[in-house]
């Protein structure tokens, strides 16, 4: 009887994580951008990225480069909502293809996500 009780207890203890499940962690995902990915636009005055959740301002941001790799100076700021980063270029965009490389660290769990998208200035 003791062995049976111990075996049942052992099965329940080890199976509990299967039924309860792992903790759910959200990660900041890019949900909106202006300019849009693969879009063709007039020279933008700002670039705006919006994430699915609040991000840690110190560990989040983006860079912009032309297709030849030349970096564009950007001053970025996280908005009051904690989810939007707006970047202002240090000089006007020239016509051509640009790449935005972003990274965001979720404010709640510190998990970092990143990605890249392109847009074209006509």
Please measure the distance between the N-terminal and C-terminal CA atoms of the chain and give it in whole angstroms. Answer: 80
**Burial class (CB within 10 angstroms; exposed 0-12, middle 13-18, buried 19+) of 52:** middle
Residue 6 pLDDT > 50, yes or no?
no
Predicted confidence at residue 10, as pLDDT, reads 41
What pLDDT digit, counting tens, does each position of 72-94 carry? 999 999 999 999 999 999 999 99
Share of the chain above pLDDT 70, in %: 79
- Classified by CATH at the fold level, domain 26-121 comes out as Immunoglobulin-like (2.60.40)
- Residue 68, classed as helix, strand or coil, is coil
Domain boundaries, given as residue ranges, for the chain: 26-121
What pLDDT digit, counting tens, does each position of 19-77 carry? 444 445 569 999 999 999 999 999 999 999 999 999 999 999 999 999 999 999 999 99
């Amino acid at each position: 009887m003791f062995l049976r009780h111990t075996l049942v207890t052992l099965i329940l203890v080890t199976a509990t994580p299967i039924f309860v499940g792992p903790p759910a962690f959200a990660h900041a995902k890019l949900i909106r951008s202006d300019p849009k990915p693969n879009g063709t636009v007039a020279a933008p005055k700002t670039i705006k990225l919006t994430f699915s959740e609040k991000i840690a301002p110190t560990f989040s941001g983006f860079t912009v480069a032309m297709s030849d790799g030349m970096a564009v100076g950007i001053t970025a700021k996280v908005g009051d909502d904690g989810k939007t980063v707006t970047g202002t270029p240090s000089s006007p965009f020239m016509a051509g293809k640009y790449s935005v490389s972003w990274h965001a660290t979720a404010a709640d769990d510190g998990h970092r996500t990143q990605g890249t998208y392109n847009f074209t200035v006509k």
